[in-house]
Amino acid sequence: MGRDRKKGKAITGWLILDKPLGMTSTQALGKARWLLDAKKAGHAGTLDPLASGVLPLAFGEATKTISFMMDAGKTYEFTICWGVSTTTLDTEGEVIARSDKRPNKASILAILPSFTGNIEQIPPAFSAIKLDGKRAYDLARAGEQVVLKARTVRIDALTLLDQPDMDHARFEVYCGKGTYVRSLARDIAATLGTEAHVVRLRRTLVGPFDQSQAISLEALDNMDAQTRAHTVLAPLASALAGIPTLTISAEQAQDVRHGRKIQLTQQQIKGLEVPATIYAHHNDEPIAIGMVEDTHFKPSRVFN
């Protein structure tokens, strides 16, 4: 999701933004990019306008690692309002169904295990998924019937945090790529024999980045313009924390920078499970991401 422009500074790193409510991820990226006067930027993992929280923004060479953040595990806190379903599965939509049933704690806890592991989930009609080249939410807003196919997603943990009252329940979910919390809320309600929609959604973690590291646009705006980037950007390699690392020599680094495959020593491949995606560096300087097969490292993304 990276974009280029002619003007701006060639800065590199990750900004962990605390996206506010009411703003799209693209708008948040644009504002942060303007504040940092960055030449190249992209975001990892869209957050709905009605969701807040961790939105990792990549700048410069860090945009080459966005795919690893897109695939990373994510944690959300969300609040369900029982008894009402909406077209969008959140507070933005029109009411389409009601129920008088309010599930108690015991019944909620009893069904949560059925929503962990690999599960089948139908995405919301109001989502960014493309159908025949058009976004599902555009078709839905135009009044067209949107039928999306179920897809397999992974949920590693789903916890009931509390029940502030009989109409609401607050949850935390740790899930994999492509999971829709709004669909999860819909399916939880259906299993419990009631209706529901999401009234609050906050992302608290994406891969190695959590909300304790996040900064608001307001705080970013209040910083000294000359030192913002140096103050807030995490290193490019911080997004690669879950990838095995490979230390290479200066000579090997030179070849890799030119896109050439290199021969590795037995010491270098010791302990590596091959084939595997590897992050190669020299003196802690990012060189490339690539594949180790047998005794060779072949770069696929080289950092300038």
Nearest Cα to 189, choosing from 294, 296, 115?
115
Residues β-bridged to residue 119: 153
Q: Contact 119/175 with Cβ under 8 angstroms? A: no
> For residue 111, is it left (φ>0), alpha (ψ between -120 and 50) or beta?
alpha
48 included as an active-site residue? yes
H or E element that contains 69: helix 66-70
CA pair distance 239, 67, nearest whole angstrom: 10
User: Rounded CA gap, 203 and 179, in Å?
Assistant: 12
Give, as one character, the DSSP assignment of residue 64.
Answer: G
Q: For residue 276, what are the contacts with CB-CB under 8 A and spacing of at least 6?
A: 244, 291, 292
- Among 4, 18, 37, 48, the one annotated catalytic: 48
61 close to 303: Cβ distance less than 8 angstroms: yes
Q: Which residues are catalytic?
A: 48
